[in-house]
Amino acid sequence: MKRKEFYIKKQKRRKKITLIVCAILVLGIGAFAISKAFSSSDDKIVANAKSDDTKKENNTEQKPKVIGPNDIIPGDNIIKSAESYAVPANIVYKMIFSKEVVKQPKSVFLTFDDGPSENTDELLNILKNEGVHATFFVLGSQLENSDKNRERLKREIDEGNAIANHSYSHNYKILYPGNSVNPSKFMEEFNKTNKLMQDVLGTDFDSKVVRMPGGYISRKYYKDPHLKELDKDFKENNIVSIDWDAETGDATGRNYTVQQMVNNVSAYAKSEKHMVLLMHDAAAKKQTVKALPAIIKYLKGQGYEFKVISNAKPEDKNTTASNNESNSNASNPEQKATTAE
């Protein structure tokens, strides 16, 4: 009897222990399942958060850069506000040198070569007072060791003018050895000058407008055998070479009076609806500073709109410097002789 009771008690203990173990297992499995569910939910929350962050980053990347009126247009040689009076270089070329009819108003492009210098300050003051703008063809050598000239360059573009490239050295012996252009040396100087300008103006700036020292017309006049190779370099880099079809005479070395310089401009105005007017802002050109107000007054009186030259538009990139081969002024010895500076 006692043995039977002992056995029954033992069985009850086993059942109790079994129930306790089962209960523990059930609770453990339940806790694990709940933990897993929360963990999965947390993972989803984190994943969704990451996804939202990624979307935000992508949306930020996709948003175009906001360009203010005083900011340089990325990849161009003007600030945003200058767009209203800027003409792409390839269109300027057509206006001046091509027989193709270009629907543009009566326009003048004031251009200054060989600066910046102390004269640039006075010229900028005049332009600002007259409410007009110009295109400055800059020499890299004028920027390299002069904080003042770098400040002048910054002022040029900040005040709504266009900036173009006029080589680094302006040295004919380097650029045109044996009176024939050295394409690799010319492009080296072009890129060096552009880099110097970017160091001042920032990487958004990039000028694709050039005026060769002495002019492209001089290379044509001398039947330069290497000009086609340079044309190819220009075309591949979307660079447009712009000469001129009018001048004040400040490149000749003659001591013209203010009135004589105005008369020189008026002679071109009689036949030119569109003028790219050659002038200089080198330190020696004091008379140009004196004559500029009278020249601007005359051109305003003749109904000219004042424009600047910006980079060629991408859709017109095939209209590049190589088109200068059709320049009707290229064989004019008198015009060639005025390019000594």
DSSP letters spanning 279-318? EE-STT-HHHHHHHHHHHHHHHHTTPEEEEEEPPPGGGTT
- For the chain, how big is the Rg over CA atoms in Å? 36
Distance CA 129, CA 127 (A): 6
Can you give the residue ranges of every domain in the chain? 1-63, 80-337
Q: Residue 97: its pLDDT value, please?
A: 84
For residue 339, give the 3-state DSSP assignment: coil
φ, ψ of residue 298 to 5 degrees: the values are -60, -45
Half-sphere exposure of 178 (CA within 13 A, CB side): 5
Query: For residue 327, is it left (φ>0), alpha (ψ between -120 and 50) or beta?
Result: beta
SS3 letters across 34-85: HHHHHHHHHHHHHHHHHHHHHHHHHHHHHCCCCCCCCCECCCECCEHHHHHH
Q: Residue count of the chain, please give it.
A: 341
The pLDDT tens digits of the residues spanning 99-146 come to 777 788 999 999 999 999 999 999 999 999 999 999 999 999 999 999
Report how many helices (DSSP H) and strands (DSSP E) the chain contains, helices first. Answer: 12, 9
Q: Residue 104: its pLDDT value, please?
A: 86
Q: Indicate the CATH number of 80-337 among 3.40.190.10, 3.40.50.300, 2.60.40.10, 3.20.20.370.
A: 3.20.20.370
pTM of the model: 0.78
Q: Residue 61: its pLDDT value, please?
A: 57
The whole-number mean pLDDT for each consecutive block of 10 residues of the chain, a chain of 341 residues, reads 52 60 53 50 50 54 81 98 97 87 90 98 98 98 97 98 98 98 98 98 98 97 98 98 98 94 98 96 97 98 98 60 38 37 51
Amino acid occupying residue 236:
E
Q: Residue 238: its pLDDT value, please?
A: 97
Distance CA 1, CA 6 (A): 9
Q: Residue 22: its pLDDT value, please?
A: 54
| C-alpha distance across the termini of the chain, in Å | 134
Q: Residue 332: its pLDDT value, please?
A: 37
Distance CA 123, CA 73 (A): 24
Q: Residue 293: its pLDDT value, please?
A: 98
Alpha-carbon distances, residue 145 vs 41, 148, 202, 287, 318 (angstroms): 64, 9, 18, 26, 36
Structure-token match 């290379």, residue found? 219
DSSP state of 245: S
What percent of the residues of the chain are helix, what percent strand, and what percent coil, each to the nearest 5? 55, 15, 30
